[in-house]
């Protein structure tokens, strides 16, 4: 989870709503988070499919670093 009180970078102060699914979109919002944006990832209640789909390869952890997440049942 990102510590938004101490983030810096060219996108510091910008908030991004991440409604992406799987790797490509998560990679793009990861880059925004790495540049200082406050990225909030929206997931289904059972979690993003990449949490477990690739076994021991933790792609989810990598592409969702520096983000906050919330589960929404719509």
Q: What is the pLDDT of residues 43-59, one digit of tens each?
A: 999 988 888 777 777 88
Around Cβ 41, how many Cβ atoms within 10 Å? 22
Which residue is listed with tokens 């990598």? 62
Tokens encoding 35: 């540049």
Note the residue count of the chain. Answer: 74
- pLDDT for residue 21: 86
Provide the domain count of the chain.
1
Percentage of the chain beyond pLDDT 70 is 92
List the domain range (segments joined by +) for residue 42. 4-71
- pLDDT for residue 5: 55
Which residue is listed with tokens 């989810």? 60
37 Rama class: left (phi>0) / alpha (psi -120 to 50) / beta:
beta
């Amino acid at each position: 989870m990102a510590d938004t009180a101490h983030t810096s970078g060219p996108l510091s102060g910008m908030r991004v709503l991440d409604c992406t699914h799987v790797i490509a979109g998560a990679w793009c919002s990861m880059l925004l988070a790495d540049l200082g944006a406050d990225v909030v990832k929206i997931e289904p209640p059972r979690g993003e499919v990449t949490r477990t789909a690739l076994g021991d390869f933790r792609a989810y952890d990598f592409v969702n670093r520096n983000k906050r997440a919330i589960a929404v049942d719509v």
